[in-house]
Chain A
């Protein structure tokens, strides 16, 4: 039963993708299939998290090949949380897509690509095999290539070239790192690797491999100085695509970093995690400064993704229980808030006619509901109490201060200043888009949408804003789940036991080459 449950998110997404693609000629049918698939995935993800919460980490061996020889699908609490949050965003953005995506893009197979992307993301969260992780990354990338250039405007093609080329470099780095790690240990199963790396005598070579992984996953998760593809491409596709990219793609990179640097590369924490801490600090600062220089809503939000990635890596780099709690909590909070901000930016564009801050205004006067819906995620992003971002930043800063080292104080100060600068960017959007009168006068803000369409656009925004409020006002259960996930991440025994189980003896023999 748990076997089926573990593989179900991937199977459902792929089945939906195929069905939605085949039905693409009938607009009503492809939309219905896309929506139904997202809803089923959401239900499965809830059950999966409940099961993992009840049983601890669970694993299945594909085709019953015993680990470490076959491919393992495994879910610990962290994986299950990520699958659930991906399913929530997948569902919300599907509803938004029904109102946002033009009929010709739907006929071109939008929902098919969309669900392949979700399948890739879920697969990356659930796999327990390093090479399989590479395959899921590629599934996700190929779907994202298609979504990014769907429609084929010159800006999309231009952004697509940069996105594709830099991500392919990251793929090569990842592949080379996997190769060397396999050469060192003779295994690709992640749980088995965590045991096998202890037997590697050449710690220096292991650190080199670790850095190759930092580069590979660093490009995917857009950390400094590897983030340039992100602000070059994320503002070009349709808003729904921007939102799902912003919410999930970079976070898969962060997930992989967290997985690798808690499970496998813990041999030289002083160096590897020290490097990650430096990367985290510089990423936060460059991202937020880049955002301050932009005047287009989606470009500002894109740079803020980079900045926020720094916070998640910071929790990992601190490598204390509280730091890991912060990372997990931040991931959950950020995915919801960032997707929501992109969704709101799409509504702003439809109402006021542009993404350029100089060309819009007057939204507060004519559309106070939209203003309120922007305010909740925006202030949460900046970390204002009582919203979800406040608790996420609070935990991280508390964790860095309790290190009681110079680096800890420095990163805490950086995080606080970056939070303030985030607030600056958000107030810039607020002042320009909401408070300033529209440059075209009172007729600038026009309802360019039918009632049904604006309901489809606003419903997911309201839902996600509600989630942000819920996490902010009722943070304790979310904190407890993050805490349990962080404990599982830092002590790998349960994860390894779930994967290798009774075959531990076999694994020891296998890792000895």
Chain B
């Protein structure tokens, strides 16, 4: 089970990185979503996957009788999912605004904040 999860994490990371290398900011965003979920799956995997038994301690005992699921990684992932969902919503809107303002979703062409140096302009630096 852990091997399968580990391979899935690797494949998702690879797919995410491939998408993020694109000039297209929309694909970059999709890549970010995929790699973010790969990170969540990584937390679940390294947190030890002990199966589906709920982590409940029977009455009168101090430890569960059998192997139970580790609840902490699941809590961490839940937090991470909520945060990344909020950020994703913000980023999609930001990208849409960028498309409205600049008429492009190509990262290479977004040069409003850092204009390319004009060759005919005599500046101190160039």
Q: Enumerate chain A interface residues (CB-CB to B < 8 A).
A: 131, 134-135, 138, 141-142, 145, 149, 152, 154-162, 164-165, 168-169, 172, 175-176, 178-180, 182-183, 231-233, 235-236, 292-295, 357-358, 428
Complex contacts, A165 vs chain B, CB 8 Å: 25, 28-29, 32, 91
Query: From A139, which residue of chain B is reached at the shortest CB distance?
Result: B83
Complex contacts, B76 vs chain A, CB 8 Å: 131, 178, 182
User: Are the C-beta atoms of A161 and B98 separated by less than 8 Å?
Assistant: yes
Complex contacts, A158 vs chain B, CB 8 Å: 98, 101-102, 110-114
User: Are the C-beta atoms of B47 and A183 separated by less than 8 Å?
Assistant: yes
Complex contacts, A231 vs chain B, CB 8 Å: 114
User: Are the C-beta atoms of A138 and B83 separated by less than 8 Å?
Assistant: yes
Complex contacts, A292 vs chain B, CB 8 Å: 125
Q: Enumerate chain B interface residues (CB-CB to A < 8 A).
A: 20, 25, 28-29, 32, 35-36, 39-40, 42-43, 45-48, 73, 76, 79-80, 83, 86-87, 90-91, 94-95, 97-98, 101-102, 107, 110-114, 123-126
Query: Given that A155-B113, A158-B112 are known contacts, is A176 also in contact with B94, CB under 8 Å in the complex?
Result: no
In the assembled complex, the Cα of A161 lies from the Cα of B106 at a distance in Å of 11
Complex contacts, B94 vs chain A, CB 8 Å: 145, 149, 157, 160-161, 164
Nearest CB on B from A164, distance (A): 6
Complex contacts, B126 vs chain A, CB 8 Å: 293
Instruction: Write 28 A-B pairs (CB below 8 A) sorted by A numbering.
Output: A142-B86, A149-B97, A154-B101, A154-B102, A156-B113, A157-B94, A157-B112, A158-B111, A158-B113, A162-B110, A164-B87, A165-B28, A168-B36, A168-B91, A169-B20, A175-B39, A175-B42, A175-B80, A178-B43, A179-B39, A179-B42, A179-B45, A182-B76, A183-B48, A233-B113, A235-B113, A292-B125, A294-B125
Nearest CB on B from A117, distance (A): 15
Query: From A132, which residue of chain B is reached at the shortest CB distance?
Result: B79
Complex contacts, B73 vs chain A, CB 8 Å: 179, 182
User: Are the C-beta atoms of A176 and B42 separated by less than 8 Å?
Assistant: yes
Nearest CB on A from B38, distance (A): 8
User: Are the C-beta atoms of A172 and B113 separated by less than 8 Å?
Assistant: no
User: Are the C-beta atoms of A232 and B124 separated by less than 8 Å?
Assistant: no
In the assembled complex, the Cα of A162 lies from the Cα of B28 at a distance in Å of 11
In the assembled complex, the Cα of A358 lies from the Cα of B124 at a distance in Å of 9
User: Are the C-beta atoms of B87 and A168 separated by less than 8 Å?
Assistant: yes
Query: From A428, which residue of chain B is reached at the shortest CB distance?
Result: B124
Complex contacts, A294 vs chain B, CB 8 Å: 125
In the assembled complex, the Cα of A92 lies from the Cα of B80 at a distance in Å of 34
| A-B CB contacts (within 8 Å), total count | 111
User: Are the C-beta atoms of B123 and A295 separated by less than 8 Å?
Assistant: yes
Complex contacts, A141 vs chain B, CB 8 Å: 87
Complex contacts, B86 vs chain A, CB 8 Å: 142
In the assembled complex, the Cα of A442 lies from the Cα of B91 at a distance in Å of 46
Complex contacts, A159 vs chain B, CB 8 Å: 113
Considering residues A134, A145, A172, which has the most beta carbons from chain B within 10 angstroms of its beta carbon?
A172
Nearest CB on A from B111, distance (A): 7
Complex contacts, A233 vs chain B, CB 8 Å: 113
Complex contacts, B25 vs chain A, CB 8 Å: 161, 165
User: Are the C-beta atoms of B102 and A180 separated by less than 8 Å?
Assistant: no
Nearest CB on B from A274, distance (A): 28
In addition to A135-B83, A161-B95, A294-B125, 17 A-B residue pairs with Cβ atoms within 8 Å of each other are A131-B79, A135-B79, A154-B102, A155-B113, A158-B101, A158-B111, A160-B98, A161-B25, A168-B32, A168-B36, A168-B87, A172-B39, A175-B42, A180-B46, A182-B73, A292-B125, A295-B123
In the assembled complex, the Cα of A216 lies from the Cα of B107 at a distance in Å of 22
Nearest CB on A from B106, distance (A): 11
User: Are the C-beta atoms of B32 and A232 separated by less than 8 Å?
Assistant: no
In the assembled complex, the Cα of A208 lies from the Cα of B98 at a distance in Å of 37
In the assembled complex, the Cα of A293 lies from the Cα of B76 at a distance in Å of 44
Complex contacts, A235 vs chain B, CB 8 Å: 113
Query: From B115, which residue of chain A is reached at the shortest CB distance?
Result: A155
User: Are the C-beta atoms of B47 and A172 separated by less than 8 Å?
Assistant: no
Query: From B99, which residue of chain A is reached at the shortest CB distance?
Result: A157
Nearest CB on A from B9, distance (A): 9
Complex contacts, A134 vs chain B, CB 8 Å: 80
Question: A-B pairs with the 10 shortest C-beta distances?
Answer: A183-B46, A293-B125, A158-B112, A179-B43, A159-B113, A158-B113, A154-B101, A175-B39, A155-B113, A179-B42
Query: From B93, which residue of chain A is reached at the shortest CB distance?
Result: A149
Nearest CB on A from B124, distance (A): 6
User: Are the C-beta atoms of A176 and B39 separated by less than 8 Å?
Assistant: yes
Nearest CB on A from B65, distance (A): 18
In the assembled complex, the Cα of A450 lies from the Cα of B20 at a distance in Å of 49
Query: From B88, which residue of chain A is reached at the shortest CB distance?
Result: A168
User: Are the C-beta atoms of B90 and A142 separated by less than 8 Å?
Assistant: yes
In the assembled complex, the Cα of A152 lies from the Cα of B43 at a distance in Å of 36
Complex contacts, A155 vs chain B, CB 8 Å: 112-113
Complex contacts, B20 vs chain A, CB 8 Å: 169
Complex contacts, B102 vs chain A, CB 8 Å: 154, 157-158
